[in-house]
Structure 1
Amino acid sequence: MKVKKVPQRMCTGCMEMKPKKELIRVVKSTEGDISVDLTGKKNGRGAYVCRNIECLEKAFKARRLQKNLEAQISDEIYSRLKEEIDNEK
């Protein structure tokens, strides 16, 4: 039987390639709305962050999510991401 390829994405915090399922997706929709996409299926441009507080803080300090999505990201989105990471532990 053929082995299924696992989709890989780059974390904006640590800049490492990881399986898509291990990452949290932040999406900018065509209307310009930014939201956290836990399903990974929403339409729009996506950026990924590890489920790790250090990676989120690195991405926040370097403003990598803003650069990748080409939009201003509110503190509400960062707090939502932090909450999601804390809930998994």
Structure 2
Amino acid sequence: MRQRKVPMRKCVASNEMKPKKEMVRLVRDKEGNVSIDPTGKKNGRGAYISLDPILVKQAQNKNSLDQALNTKIDAAFYEELLSYVEYQKARSELKNG
């Protein structure tokens, strides 16, 4: 049986290529609203960030998400993203044992 190709994406905070499943997609729609895209299928400009709270804070300090999505992102969204990343990371650690 053939091995399936693992989709890789580049993290905007660390500039590392990682498997898509280890990252979360953020999307900016036509109206300029930025949201978390857990399905990875929403329309709009997308950017990926690793499921690591340290990298989320690093992206906030460097404004790397602002540059990747070509818009200004407020601190409230970063707080929402940070809590989402912490939740997903804890979930994956429980699942992997």
After TM superposition, the structure 1 = structure 2 runs for residues 32-71 of structure 1, keeping only pairs within 5 Å, are 32-71=32-71
Cα shift at 1:31: 2.1
Percent of aligned positions that are identical = 39
- The aligned residue for residue 17 of structure 2 is 17
User: TM-score normalised to the size of structure 2?
Assistant: 0.84
Greater Rg by CA:
2
The unaligned stretches of length 5 or more in structure 1 are none
Could you tell me how far apart the structure 1 residues matched to 2:78 and 2:62 are?
13
Q: CA RMSD in A?
A: 1.2
- The aligned residue for residue 28 of structure 1 is 28
Higher helix share: 2
Contact 1:28 1:46 in 2 (8 A): yes
- The aligned residue for residue 87 of structure 1 is 87
Q: How many residues align?
A: 89
Cα offsets for 1:31-76 (capped at 9, x unmatched): 2211111111111111111111111111111111000100011222
Could you tell me how far apart the structure 1 residues matched to 2:41 and 2:27 are?
10
Structure 1 stretches of 4+ with a deviation exceeding 4 A read none
Letter of the 1:36 counterpart: I
